[in-house]
Structure 1
Amino acid sequence: MASPSHRRSLRTRRTALLSAAAVAAAGLGAVPFVMNADATPVDLAHQALPAKDGWAASGSGTTGGSKASSANVFTVSTRAQLVKALGSATNSTPKIIKIKGTIDANTDDAGKKLTCADYASGTGYSLDAYLKAYDPATYGKKAPSGTQEKARAAAQTKQKKNIVLRVPANTTLVGVPGSNAGIKGGSLLVQDVDNVIVRNLSLTATEDCFPQWDPTDGSSGEWNSAYDSVTLRGATHVWADHNTFSDAPFFDKAEKTYFGRKYQVHDGALDITNGSDLVTVERNQFTNHDKTMLIGSSDTDSVGKLRVSIHHNVWKGITQRAPLARIGQIHLYNNYYDTTTLNGYAPKYSLDSRAKAQVVAEHNVWTLPSGAKVAKLLSGDGTGSVAGGGNLVNGAATDIVAAYNSANSSKKLKTTVNWTPSLTAGLQTSAKSLTTELLNSAGAGVLS
């Protein structure tokens, strides 16, 4: 049974949602706040992560820009305004940036739409020339080098300068309720900074115009792209809450094929790498994506870091990496997974625990289509652990680790971990009502 404090928390959240909805229904327009249970307004932009709400609440907690002075509170609606508000990545002065409407990152400072052709202009790059230069049938299976690879890198650098948006420490990025707030085609980079909040945003269509061909990637080679919708590298105390991540409107099934492999323009949705630590990922929707969330950039990333809580998220139309976890202590609870194929995104697995990752997965819910196997929900390299229980598959309590291990003669998942989660605010020990609740409460726009 849920604790009294947990029940109060749920009542507060539900009252907040209903109160905001009532204001909108009354014709009062978009409001920049939700309501507390006692009907007092709560400014989303100034909210900090609640106590004990996952790993990001550890130590000093995560407050983002909540202490910003009025001079450092900005409302932006264009890429140029957003870049100016973000300022220098080394300026740690607390700031709040409210995003109103959808910002297209592929625009210039005057707001003119930029295309892949614009980025390629003047570099000497063309896809036709690139394909001709590095066709494995004539070039061989070696890393591309020479004129066209240099031209590709130059074009990619031009796009990177435009779409990668570096977020400084002590910053809150929040969508203005009721404005369809989001960033299209952009990549938020949170690198080597502390204390960042990203809330209430639709983060879509992050595409690399210039994927690189790597014939040594796997047995058949791969096209590799460069940008995640949100990238954490060496970042600490980050709270990602009520966002929607999607490839829309361009899905992988529409990709062309070159050298026998899909010309992949999408990378991750939310990647947590390079020693990032103390992260809470809460009440987001991840949909229409392949390699969704990577925790740990390699099998030797950063021992003692990569501590991440992932709870109350919806994963729908996800192929893999929900998440792929390496090394760290990951708490995965109260998430809803719909593994039905969506827009061509067919599931390979949900959770991959490898490189001695210590995952506690509890009270999550999976919906599997007819004929799908529970054993396919997990993956591993034989060194990762998945502990926990209370998980439901098609409404039935299921030991997902036992199902995986019984179907695999090698690379079995370990079933014990070296830590016990304690920052568990909001943990629901009965997952039966999660599906309906999360479909109505996760993702961007719900807080309007």
Structure 2
Amino acid sequence: MTAKRALQLTAAVSLLAVLSTPADAGTRDISRDTLPANDGWASLGTGTTGGAAADDAHVYTVTDRAGLVRALDGGSDTPKIIKIAGTVDANTDDDGDHLDCADYATGGYGLKKYLAAYDPRSWGSAPPSGPQEEARQASAARQAERVVLPVGSNTTIVGLGSKALIKGGSLQVTDADNVIVRNLELRDAYDCFPVWQPNKGGLGDWKTAYDTLWVRGSTHVWVDHVTASDNGHPDEKEPTYFGRNFLRHDGLLDITNGSDLVTVSWSRFADHDKAMLIGNSDTATGDRGKLRVTLHHNEFESVVQRAPRVRFGQVHVYNNRYVVPEGVHDYRYSIGVSTESAIHAENNAFTTPGYVEAADLVKSWNGTALHTSGNVFNGYPVDLLTIYDAYNSASERDLTADVGWTPTLHTKIDSAATADREVARGAGAGRIP
């Protein structure tokens, strides 16, 4: 028996086990669940129902990339429910065989040749151009054809059981409305072909292409009980080129380009650098009045920064759990306050070792306001705003507490201590009650 055939049989057996679980085993069909009333910004207006209206012909159970692509239907608006069973590997060909970075490389691309061509000591500060950059772009396009998975309006994507996983893929909810993603692990959206940007951040940096989940220009989106991480390919273990870490991952969940009315609940974001960006540009003034997002009962563990970083949006951050283990020595901050953002952060629990101070939890870039209340740091009450201003007012702009709005769309708000315990037990894929 070939290895491929063995994998196919294993997937079939796993799927049969999921589908044949008896009703009295405590399982329930969550695929037609809709966002509860008042559960964050995504409940405003028409609410968020995803694919709950799908007819039987548009309910799919998928076990591989080919089945997922067929079910997504190119990002169509047809109401659909897509159930993920087992592991779906986005880096596979049409026959289901795994593809690695070498399989995507074309046009003579080679990392050593790319590094030699654009070494700043000889190339300078101009953006890369010429044969190796063209080959990199062509190679990147081949990978994108495999791993970018477009999600259209009126869609529910839900994992079956406790081990549903999309590996290596980038779910992209673009210009869509009414989408639900639940009970699903999203892992390792690994970019084989990062691009060198000589002038980024003054020293240059590597830019990657894929978020595990990207909500772009979309409305009424509910992300619930999702686990997102770089598990298996941490950027911290990648080499350094041109004095900068050779990044392979972008965000875990980015919400950008005028997206609006989004609720992210009971999810886990882990083992990553830049976890969540809300609003992608200081100059995107068209985002004013949009980017309204609720984050509640989520866990951010071993996350270096952006949990979240916000521009423009009215963002309610409550009852979340932040854990920075002792091994995360490159920690930068958790809550990023950027241009015209209006963050209301309450009853969150931050747990860190001694080398991380409370003053490290918040960072501002052109931000003006941050409302905080009921938060705890290592078990003790902490006024994040007062501490931020005390440590940063001499060199950075002061933040005021008036963010210009008061959250009303929320479920019961627990104390930070209670939320800390409940999120530890209940956040992430496979933990829907």
TM range (shorter): over 0.9
Match of 1:354 in 2: 338
State whether structure 2 residue 246 is matched by structure 1 residue 263: yes
2:204 to 221, 225, 232: 221
Instruction: Please report how far the alpha carbon of residue 413 of structure 1 lies from its aligned counterpart in structure 2 after TM superposition.
Output: 2.0
Q: Counterparts of 1:91-130 in structure 2 under 5 Å?
A: 91-120=76-105, 122-130=106-114
In 2, distance between residues paired with 1:43 and 1:130?
50
Is the CA contact 1:74–1:96 (under 8 Å) kept in the aligned structure 2? yes
1:32–1:236 distance in 2 versus 1, CA, 3 Å: farther
State whether structure 2 residue 348 is matched by structure 1 residue 364: yes
Identity %: 48
Q: Counterparts of 1:109-188 in structure 2 under 5 Å?
A: 109-120=94-105, 122-178=106-162, 180-188=163-171
Instruction: Please report how far the alpha carbon of residue 32 of structure 1 lies from its aligned counterpart in structure 2 after TM superposition.
Output: 9.5
Residue identity in the other structure for 2:311: R
Is the CA contact 1:317–1:345 (under 8 Å) kept in the aligned structure 2? no
Q: Secondary structure at the match of 1:46?
A: coil
Instruction: Please report how far the alpha carbon of residue 346 of structure 1 lies from its aligned counterpart in structure 2 after TM superposition.
Output: 3.2
Q: Counterparts of 1:228-247 in structure 2 under 5 Å?
A: 228-247=211-230
State whether structure 2 residue 35 is matched by structure 1 residue 52: no
In 1, distance between residues paired with 2:236 and 2:423?
27
Q: Secondary structure at the match of 1:201?
A: strand
In 1, distance between residues paired with 2:139 and 2:71?
26
- Cα deviation, 1:28-76, whole Å, max 9, x if unaligned, reads 96579999xxx99752100000000000001000000011111110000
- Cα deviation, 1:188-215, whole Å, max 9, x if unaligned, reads 0000010000001111111100000011
In 1, distance between residues paired with 2:355 and 2:22?
43
In 1, distance between residues paired with 2:261 and 2:229?
24
Q: Secondary structure at the match of 1:436?
A: helix
My pick for the range that moved more, 391-400 or 328-337, is: 391-400
In 1, distance between residues paired with 2:87 and 2:427?
19
Instruction: Please report how far the alpha carbon of residue 363 of structure 1 lies from its aligned counterpart in structure 2 after TM superposition.
Output: 0.5
Is the CA contact 1:93–1:169 (under 8 Å) kept in the aligned structure 2? yes
- Cα deviation, 1:59-110, whole Å, max 9, x if unaligned, reads 0000000111111100000000000000032x21110000000111000111
- Cα deviation, 1:404-434, whole Å, max 9, x if unaligned, reads 1100122222211111111011322x22222
**Root-mean-square deviation over aligned CA pairs:** 2.0
Q: Gaps spanning 5+ residues in structure 2: where?
A: 1-15
My pick for the range that moved more, 183-192 or 254-263, is: 254-263
- Cα deviation, 1:252-298, whole Å, max 9, x if unaligned, reads 22101111111111100000000000000000011000011000010
Is the CA contact 1:34–1:44 (under 8 Å) kept in the aligned structure 2? no
In 1, distance between residues paired with 2:254 and 2:417?
29
Match of 1:11 in 2: none
1:338–1:40 distance in 2 versus 1, CA, 3 Å: closer
Match of 1:3 in 2: none
In 2, distance between residues paired with 1:319 and 1:34?
42
2:422 to 437, 440, 444: 437
Match of 1:329 in 2: 314
Q: Secondary structure at the match of 2:325?
A: coil
In 1, distance between residues paired with 2:109 and 2:398?
46
Q: TM-score, normalised by structure 1?
A: 0.89
1:373–1:322 distance in 2 versus 1, CA, 3 Å: same
Is the CA contact 1:354–1:382 (under 8 Å) kept in the aligned structure 2? yes
Aligned residues: 414
Q: Counterparts of 1:379-398 in structure 2 under 5 Å?
A: 379-398=363-382
State whether structure 2 residue 322 is matched by structure 1 residue 307: no
1:280 to 242, 247, 263: 263
Instruction: Please report how far the alpha carbon of residue 177 of structure 1 lies from its aligned counterpart in structure 2 after TM superposition.
Output: 1.3
Q: TM-score, normalised by structure 2?
A: 0.92
In 2, distance between residues paired with 1:288 and 1:265?
13
1:371–1:341 distance in 2 versus 1, CA, 3 Å: closer
State whether structure 2 residue 275 is matched by structure 1 residue 297: no
Instruction: Please report how far the alpha carbon of residue 446 of structure 1 lies from its aligned counterpart in structure 2 after TM superposition.
Output: 1.3
In 1, distance between residues paired with 2:18 and 2:109?
45
Residue identity in the other structure for 2:53: K
1:41–1:218 distance in 2 versus 1, CA, 3 Å: closer
Is the CA contact 1:214–1:224 (under 8 Å) kept in the aligned structure 2? yes
Match of 1:417 in 2: 403
- Cα deviation, 1:12-35, whole Å, max 9, x if unaligned, reads xxxxxxxxxxxxxxxx96579999
Is the CA contact 1:340–1:346 (under 8 Å) kept in the aligned structure 2? no
The runs of at least 4 consecutive aligned structure 1 residues that moved more than 4 Å come to 28-35, 39-42
My pick for the range that moved more, 149-158 or 364-373, is: 364-373
In 1, distance between residues paired with 2:151 and 2:348?
32
State whether structure 2 residue 191 is matched by structure 1 residue 205: no
Match of 2:58 in 1: 72
Is the CA contact 1:392–1:398 (under 8 Å) kept in the aligned structure 2? yes
1:32–1:405 distance in 2 versus 1, CA, 3 Å: farther
Match of 1:251 in 2: 234
Is the CA contact 2:52–2:81 (under 8 Å) kept in the aligned structure 1? yes
State whether structure 2 residue 29 is matched by structure 1 residue 43: yes
- Cα deviation, 1:132-174, whole Å, max 9, x if unaligned, reads 1111111111110111101100000000010000001000000
Q: Secondary structure at the match of 1:87?
A: helix
